[in-house]
Amino acid sequence: MLQKGRCLSCKSKISRQYPITELLTGLTFFAIFWKFYPSIESVIFYWTVASFLIVISVYDFRHQIIPNGLVYFLIFLSLFPVFFSAGGGNWSFFGNWKFEIGNSGLLSRLLAGVVFGGFFVSLWLASKGRWMGLGDAKLALGIGWLLGFPAGIIAILFSFWLGAIVGVFLLLFLPKKFTLKSRIPFGPFLCLGTMVDILFYGDIIKIYFYFLNLWT
């Protein structure tokens, strides 16, 4: 702000991407700390996961591609809750590290990754790459292993809902820039759905059962 949005030396305009990304990263880190403290190991783990999700989102948004190096490392991180889970969804590693999302065990998490990744691969094959990229399938594999069932399903559903809402908004309010043939990267929506799930899974389940009880 002091530099009025320009580089101090060459006076070139600084993209809005940088302050927006830094602000969202700070808010995300604070939310993760608020949720998982005092389990410092959990805080560090999800800070790392969030960092990769944010970088993947920004890169896919700008270039409409998800770099293999980023998504492969995220998949590697997602293996931690797969192989260190302890039955009921809470797992301890290096002291007081607790994984608190969902109730998936080892087989459930492995299956979730295969199912989600396979679903996106089928979309990629059916559309010959027009609907989804193969990078989205790799990302979905990591999300499945990270969240398992049923949390992963909620993350995927949120991703599609958010994508649909944004798509309709762009068609209605920016018709000159976006049409039904425009390509909108889906990676950012997958990452956003995953972060919503990590931070608010318990609240989402409570709301679901509240409305289910009202309906029944």
The per-residue pLDDT for range 60-69, each reduced to its tens digit, is: 999 999 999 9
> Which residues contact residue 71 at a Cβ distance below 8 angstroms, ignoring those fewer than 6 apart?
56, 135, 138, 139, 142
In this structure, are residues 139 and 187 in contact, taking their beta carbons and an 8 Å threshold? yes
In the prediction, which pLDDT does 101 show?
A: 52
Q: What CA–CA distance (Å, rounded) separates 45 from 126? A: 36
The per-residue pLDDT for range 71-92, each reduced to its tens digit, is: 999 999 988 876 665 433 444 4
The per-residue pLDDT for range 128-150, each reduced to its tens digit, is: 878 888 999 999 999 999 988 88
In the prediction, which pLDDT does 206 show?
A: 79
DSSP string, 75-143: HHHHHHHHHS--SSS----TTT----S----HHHHHHHHHHHHHHHHHHHHHHTTSS--HHHHHHHHHH
In the prediction, which pLDDT does 73 show?
A: 94
- Assess whether pLDDT exceeds 70 at residue 103: no
203 vs 10: which has the higher pLDDT? 10
84 vs 166: which has the higher pLDDT? 166
Q: What CA–CA distance (Å, rounded) separates 133 from 115? A: 17
In the prediction, which pLDDT does 59 show?
A: 94
75 vs 38: which has the higher pLDDT? 75
